[in-house]
Chain A
Amino acid sequence: SQQGEEDPQALSIQEGENATMNCSYKTSINNLQWYRQNSGRGLVHLILIRSNEREKHSGRLRVTLDTSKKSSSLLITASRAADTASYFCATDPTSGTYKYIFGTGTRLKVLA
């Protein structure tokens, strides 16, 4: 079963607005990652946050992690039409299997 569950399943915003998507997970983790998938393509790694970190930035991306609530959020600021994609969180469980567990994704549509 999938550990990560993204919320919302779909999000539609205007260009220039901020987009926030959330991920919840069930077990202890070493790190959590966010990936982007353009339609019909492979996933692209965006950012990794370790379990001892609370916030991380990369360009227009801001990721937070709350291990007490087992949740993470991805904020994309000043969104562009090119940000239209599906976004997935993936967790690296502490069980040591080095197999990430992916959520079902949030479909983001940015309207020009």
Chain B
Amino acid sequence: DVKVTQSSRYLVKRTGEKVFLECVQDMDHENMFWYRQDPGLGLRLIYFSYDVKMKEKGDIPEGYSVSREKKERFSLILESASTNQTSMYLCASSLPGGSYGYTFGSGTRLTVV
């Protein structure tokens, strides 16, 4: 069964910590995405990558960075976690172009205290 795996379901971190959220897909997809989901705001795109070592900013990249050293792995990094980054983080992957839909991971609920 093809899938996108996010390393943690729940995570609690302290303000100022550097946080790594990992996402791995086994579908050989070129495109990978990181979204955050907040009540009333829907899904907002943080960063996406369309190839190894390639990345582009989404709508809300401030306070985040990403790394894609291998095709199957896309990491989201919170350089210095803040309480306003408490959220549900969703990773997704897709084939090139927009015609095939996304496959999502199960999400990581991050709480920054």
Q: Number of contacting residues on A, CB 8 A?
A: 23
Q: Which of A33, A42, A43, A104 contacts B41 (CB 8 A)?
A: A104
B81 at interface by CB-CB < 8 Å: no
Q: Determine which of B40, B50, B103, B104 lies in contact with A98 in the assembled complex, contact meaning CB atoms within 8 Å.
A: B50
Find B96's partner among A44, A98, A100, A105 (CB 8 Å cutoff).
Answer: A98
| Residues of chain B from 65 to 113 with CB closer than 8 A to chain A in the complex | 88, 90, 92, 94, 96-107, 109
In whole angstroms, what is the CA distance A45 to B103 when docked?
A: 7
Q: Which residues of A have CB within 8 Å of B50?
A: 98
The secondary-structure label for the interface of chain A is strand
Q: Does B52 count as interface, using CB distance less than 8 angstroms?
A: no
* A88 to B: closest C-beta gap in Å: 7
Residues of A within 8 A of B61 (CB): none
Chain A min CB distance to B88 (Å): 8
Q: Which residues of B contact A (CB under 8 A)?
A: 4, 6, 31, 33, 35, 40-43, 45, 48, 50, 58, 88, 90, 92, 94, 96-107, 109
Known: A42-B107, A90-B102, A105-B42. 4 other contacts (CB 8 A): A2-B41, A45-B101, A45-B102, A100-B98
Sample of 20 A–B contacts (CB below 8 Å): A2-B42, A31-B98, A33-B101, A35-B102, A40-B107, A40-B109, A41-B107, A42-B6, A42-B104, A42-B105, A43-B43, A44-B104, A48-B99, A48-B101, A88-B42, A98-B97, A99-B33, A99-B58, A99-B98, A103-B42
